[in-house]
């Protein structure tokens, strides 16, 4: 039987509540506790979205974890640009984590109405992003 791996989102998703804001240093301390608790993956934040998360990943480069692998979170490349030029994709790679987590839009309504994009371009954005991240 394959082991169950635990993926924790406290440092990103868990900080989206009202009046919750951790400094980069506090996030390192929390990550250490999550590591001690046996988490396999700890999502550290979105390095392309704010300076605090970028600082967290800079600090995390010197941190030692016994169990966990840190992951950086982000989105697929933006429409209309080459993946190599996408700031968020670059920030994921610069975070220097052993894994990254990206999301892409999967609901036609989001793609067509919110992003004002085509379904074909959306799939290309997802493919380009995954291929680029895997090879870099």
Residues 7-57: pLDDT tens digits? 999 999 887 778 888 999 999 999 999 999 999 999 999 999 989 999 999
1 is a domain residue: no
86 is a domain residue: yes
pLDDT, tens digit, 9 for 90 and up, residues 43-99: 999 999 989 999 999 999 999 999 999 999 999 999 999 999 999 999 999 999 999
3-state secondary structure of 70: strand
98 is a domain residue: yes
125 is a domain residue: yes
pLDDT at 82: 97
Counting the structural domains of the chain, the total is 1
Sign of CA dihedral 31, 32, 34, 38: positive
2 is a domain residue: no
Do 98 and 43 form a contact (C-beta atoms < 8 A)? Answer: no
Which residue segment(s) compose the domain that 85 sits in?
7-135
105 is a domain residue: yes
Minimal CA–CA distance to 10: which of 36, 37, 34, 32? 34
CATH code of residue 40:
3.20.20.70
Q: Full-prediction pTM beyond 0.85?
A: yes
115 is a domain residue: yes
Q: CB neighbours of 61 closer than 8 A, spacing ≥ 6?
A: 96
70 is a domain residue: yes
């Amino acid at each position: 039987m394959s082991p169950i791996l635990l993926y924790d989102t406290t440092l990103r998703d868990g900080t989206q509540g009202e009046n919750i804001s951790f400094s980069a240093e506090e996030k390192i301390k929390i990550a250490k506790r999550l590591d001690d608790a046996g988490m396999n993956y700890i999502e550290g934040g979105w390095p392309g979205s704010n300076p605090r998360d970028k600082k967290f990943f800079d600090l995390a480069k010197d941190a030692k974890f016994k169990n966990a692998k840190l992951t950086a979170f982000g989105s697929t490349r933006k429409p209309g640009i080459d993946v190599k030029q996408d700031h968020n994709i670059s920030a994921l790679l610069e975070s220097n984590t052993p894994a990254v987590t990206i999301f892409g839009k999967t609901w036609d309504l989001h793609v067509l109405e919110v992003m004002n994009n085509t379904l074909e371009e959306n799939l290309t954005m997802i493919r380009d992003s995954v291929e680029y991240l895997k090879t870099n």
